[in-house]
Amino acid sequence: MGQIMMSDAVKAVILGVIEGITEFLPVSSTGHLLLAQRFFGLGEGAFWQSFIILIQLGGILAIVALYFLKLWRVALGMFSNPDDRRFVIGVLVAFLPSVVIGLIFGKYIKAVLFDPFVVCFTLIAGGAVLLWVDQLNLKPREDDATRYPLPMYLWIGIAQCVAMIPGVSRSGASIVAAMLLGADKRSAAEFSFFLAIPTMVGAFAYDFYKNREEMTVDHIGVVAIGFVVSFITAVIVVKTFLTYVTRHGFTFFAWWRVALGTVGLIALALGK
């Protein structure tokens, strides 16, 4: 029993690190976690599938902690300040398309597209898109994620729906869409963080309710380990990512996606 618990704790730490590092980078946390499951046996079984969703709350709380003052100001001002109210509406408008698509096609997507081959191909394709966007001579018009025009929020939300295909990357899809619509790199990345809050809280609440009867004391302890590791890792990554991407763009993340997808396809072709 002790060995099993130790094994579970190690898995929780590894998956928490993967989730915390990849959730807010344009590299696809779902893709990384699916490949970790396929090639290393991490995250197999019903509980671990729920675990992966539940520890995303750690990443969300990292965003809340890092942007607490800004979010608190918006929360206090949304009933009296038109700009704050418009931003809250904008986040909800961007969040709505993923709710609709998820309810209609969610089961089909998980049944058909959650496949290692799909992940590898979309990792490579997404890397190519990031390289393309980095080469464009874009002229940013928006540098404040809380002040985008309402139609821009909607189009970003529609683009985020593409990330339901594993390997695409939720943050990557929303960042690329925001930049093509006129945002600078930093504000595009920040809005992807803000949009993640309702998106991932919704997924967490739904999965926790659906699997509440399976959450034993042992399970809660393992989830708590993954949660804390995910939170700490996400705090470090988000603070570093904003500075890095502002100065250097997305080239590193693009080639990381291409390399991982290529190695994955080779391993799958060899029957690994």
Contacts of 197 (CB under 8 A, 6+ apart): 60, 63, 64, 91
d(CA 200, CA 202): 5
Which pLDDT belongs to residue 190? 94
Q: What is the arithmetic mean of pLDDT over 133-154?
A: 94
3-state secondary structure of 183: strand
pLDDT at 218 over 70: no
pLDDT at 44 over 80: no
- Residues 192-215: tens digit of each pLDDT: 999 999 988 887 777 777 766 666
Give start and end residues of each alpha helix (H) in the chain: 2-22, 29-40, 46-54, 56-66, 68-77, 82-112, 116-135, 150-160, 170-180, 185-210, 217-248, 251-269
- Residues 85-139: tens digit of each pLDDT: 999 999 999 999 998 998 888 888 888 888 999 999 999 999 999 999 999 999 9
Confidence category of residue 66, pLDDT binned at 50, 70, 90: very high
d(CA 225, CA 232): 11
pTM of the predicted protein model: 0.89
pLDDT at 5 over 70: no
- As a whole-number percent, the residues of the chain with pLDDT over 70 amount to 93
**Do residues 48 and 86 lie in contact, with contact meaning Cβ atoms separated by under 8 Å?**
no
User: Domain coordinates of the chain in residue numbers?
Assistant: 2-269
